[in-house]
Amino acid sequence: GAVVSQHPSRVICKSGTSVKIECRSLDFQATTMFWYRQFPKQSLMLMATSNEGSKATYEQGVEKDKFLINHASLTLSTLTVTSAHPEDSSFYICSANPIVGQPQHFGDGTRLSIL
């Protein structure tokens, strides 16, 4: 069964809206979670590493003020796309490691469409 849950699965909203995406670890605690972005027919690009109780670490070229990450508990990380515009439309996916030393497990992703 799924070990990482992501919500919502689909968002359609107007330009200028802020959108929050939740990523939850199920039955395990995750001090670190990862946020990826995937464009059609392209691979996953890491946006940021979400750290419980501290600031997220952003990859080069990712705007911190645009993509706000909060990891307030050991089972929940949120990504907020602020003042979203059509170019922010994409597939956003989170991941976490259920077992230290083993690979990441991914959520089912959130398809964001900005009109």
Partner 1 sequence: QKEVEQDPGPLSVPEGAIVSLNCTYSNSAFQYFMWYRQYSRKGPELLMYTYSSGNKEDGRFTAQVDKSSKYISLFIRDSQPSDSATYLCAMSYNTNAGKSTFGDGTTLTVKP
Which residues make up the interface to partner 1 (CB under 8 A)?
4, 6, 32, 34, 41-44, 46, 49, 91, 93, 95, 97, 100-109, 111
Q: Kindly tell me which of 19 and 105 has the beta carbon lying closer to partner 1.
A: 105
Burial class (CB in 10 A: 0-12, 13-18, 19+), 42: exposed
Q: Kindly tell me which of 43 and 54 has the beta carbon lying closer to partner 1.
A: 43
* CA distance linking residue 68 with residue 18, whole number of Å: 10
Minimum distance, C-beta of residue 15 to partner 1, in the bound complex (Å)? 23
Q: Kindly tell me which of 65 and 100 has the beta carbon lying closer to partner 1.
A: 100
Minimum distance, C-beta of residue 94 to partner 1, in the bound complex (Å)? 8
DSSP string, 11-53: EEE-TT--EEEEEEESSS--SEEEEEEE-TTS-EEEEEEEETT
Minimum distance, C-beta of residue 34 to partner 1, in the bound complex (Å)? 6
Q: Which residues pair with 35 in a beta bridge?
A: 48, 94
Q: Kindly tell me which of 83 and 90 has the beta carbon lying closer to partner 1.
A: 90
